[in-house]
Amino acid sequence: MRKLSRSWLIKKTQINPMQNFKLVIEYDGTRFFGWQRQADKPTIQAALESVLSIILNQEIRIHGSGRTDAGVHARGQVAHFHADTRLTPEAIKKGVNSMMRHPVVVMACDTVPQDFHAQYWVKSKEYRYYILNRREPSAIGSDYVWHVNRPLDMDAMNKCAEHLVGAHDFKAFENTGSPRSSTVRQVFEATWQKDGENILVFRISASGFLKNMVRNIVGTLKDAGAGKLSEQQFCQVLSSCDRTLAGATAPARGLFLHQVIY
Amino acid sequence: MRKLSRSWLIKKTQINPMQNFKLVIEYDGTRFFGWQRQADKPTIQAALESVLSIILNQEIRIHGSGRTDAGVHARGQVAHFHADTRLTPEAIKKGVNSMMRHPVVVMACDTVPQDFHAQYWVKSKEYRYYILNRREPSAIGSDYVWHVNRPLDMDAMNKCAEHLVGAHDFKAFENTGSPRSSTVRQVFEATWQKDGENILVFRISASGFLKNMVRNIVGTLKDAGAGKLSEQQFCQVLSSCDRTLAGATAPARGLFLHQVIY
């Protein structure tokens, strides 16, 4: 009994190493004011930090792969945080998922090298955008689609989308308010596919994205699908680097951060 | 001018025939107290009747193919109503969809024979039930699935489900509170399929359904999938006609009235 007590004491008093944890997170962004912490407003970052701080009994600050706007969802957002703990990643994941009172779920938790950074180490990100294309509005899942009642020509949208692939200056699709040193990004994939009878899904993966880039691209491609913009005109918009020539910003609700690759 | 005015007058004063209209309706049942009108509670029937009564300028009473419980959704609920109107079915559909402030959408509106009855003319109904089968809870679309964290054996569930097909007394799967003259129903199809990585979809079509029949069947098949009930035991439950032997009632949120056939 003595021996047991003593070894327990030693374990308790030894200094635990600071560990780096990587989270993969799913969330429904509908009722949040976006990813990033803000004073007095519910955000995904704040929801996670407050639960993690309780579980780990220390103040936790998490760093996401990037922000998502109010109403935008994620199936595979990634964040990292440092903590001094003996809890296993699995215990942290279970703890968050059982304590969380918001639609935020930890899909995976792993220890990663000390210098892993969820934002700076990103190799590529994939977003998906969902359009419900039918005359009747949406009753089911309306928080997750953009309803477009005018019939869209998916082939025309795909022909335009092909021109996005490669390294381009995407300034025409960047909203103001987030100045970057460079507006050149490398797009690896940009395709529309049908899902069922009347859902159109846009998949776009790139080295990185500018502010509102996916939603501005989708708003412009929708104009192409509706016959308001030719393929040639779409190329002109892209090469103009002029935001005023591109289409309107598509609503947040149809957008999902699908995965982040490191 | 005179002639025109007169013909207009005649049209106005002539008695419009009472017409019978059939609606196909999609709704998100989450925030409703079910289909059927109740005093002071939001129901789908009440939402539709109030909008239709305004559009058609007369008190409209609709008759559904059957009730759905609180939280149950529909992609293809059917209802009929009689109205004295010169509005076209298309105008009624558009009117409802533009005035409706609830997640209820008219997918189709048609005139039907005077004696068409949405409940009595039913040949078969198809329900679908969605289970999210993964360890992590649901963040996205949690109003539309039942989250089951224990791994389910879909083959075992399908083997049991096969025994439902045909004419059987389904008393073991009927909740009390809605006594029927007969508890025998004819099931035409009952199968589980995968949708994506971790969604299990149950499709069941039958001549008719008893109160909570689908949810009680799903609750029992889930026990079979979790290894708590053998195929033989499932058959014993079915033939026992004893509700106490069947599994728990699955939650409403995973259930969709998919279509009604006439």
Write down the pLDDT at residue B48: 98
Tens of pLDDT, residue by residue over A184-232, are: 999 999 999 999 999 999 999 999 999 999 999 999 999 999 999 999 9
**Which residue out of B140, B198, B255, B257 would a mutagenesis test of the A interface target, given it has the greatest number of A Cβ atoms within 10 Å?**
B140
pLDDT digits (tens, 9 = 90+) for B130-149: 999 999 999 999 999 999 99
Chain B residues closer than 8 Å to A107 by CB: 136
The secondary structure of A54-123 as a DSSP string is HHHTS----EESS---TT-EEEEEEEEEEEE----HHHHHHHHHHH--SSEEEEEEEEE-TT--TTTT--
CB contact under 8 A, A139 and B106: no
Least confident range from A8-22, A75-89, A238-252, B113-127: namely A8-22
Return the closest-CA partner of residue B189 out of B201, B178, B199, B181: B201
Q: Render pLDDT for B3-32 as a digit per residue (tens, 0 to 9).
A: 444 444 445 445 567 899 999 999 999 999
| Element of type H or E holding A255 | strand A255-261
Q: What is the 8-class DSSP label of residue B250?
A: P
Q: At what angle do helices A154-162 and A213-225 cross, to 10 degrees?
A: 130
Domains of chain A: 2-112 (3.30.70.580), 124-261 (3.30.70.660)
A51 in reach of chain B (CB within 8 A): no
Q: Are A190 and A203 in contact (CB under 8 A)?
A: yes
Contacts of B173 by beta carbon, 8 Å cutoff, 6+ apart: B210, B212, B213, B216, B217, B220, B238, B243, B246
Nearest-Cα distance to chain A for B26, in Å, is 6
List the structure tokens of A224: 């192409």
- Interface touch A104/B139, C-beta < 8 Å: yes
Q: Classify residue A132 as exposed, middle or buried by CB count within 10 Å of its CB (0-12, 13-18, 19+).
A: buried
A41 token code pair: 């407003």
The yes-or-no answer on residue A110 being catalytic is no
Helices B89-99 and B44-56, axial angle in degrees (round to 10): 120
Residue A2 confidence class, pLDDT cut points 50, 70, 90: very low
Report the residue from B106, B139, B144 with minimal CB separation from A105. B139
pTM to 2 decimals? Answer: 0.90
Q: Indicate the pLDDT class of residue A14, thresholds 50, 70 and 90.
A: low
Q: Do B75 and A28 touch (CB under 8 A)?
A: no
The reported pLDDT for the residue numbered B99 is 97
For residue A3, the model assigns a pLDDT of 47
Instruction: Report d(CA A18, CA A136) in Å as an integer.
Output: 54
In this complex, the residue of B73, B103, B137 whose CB is nearest that of residue A142 is B103
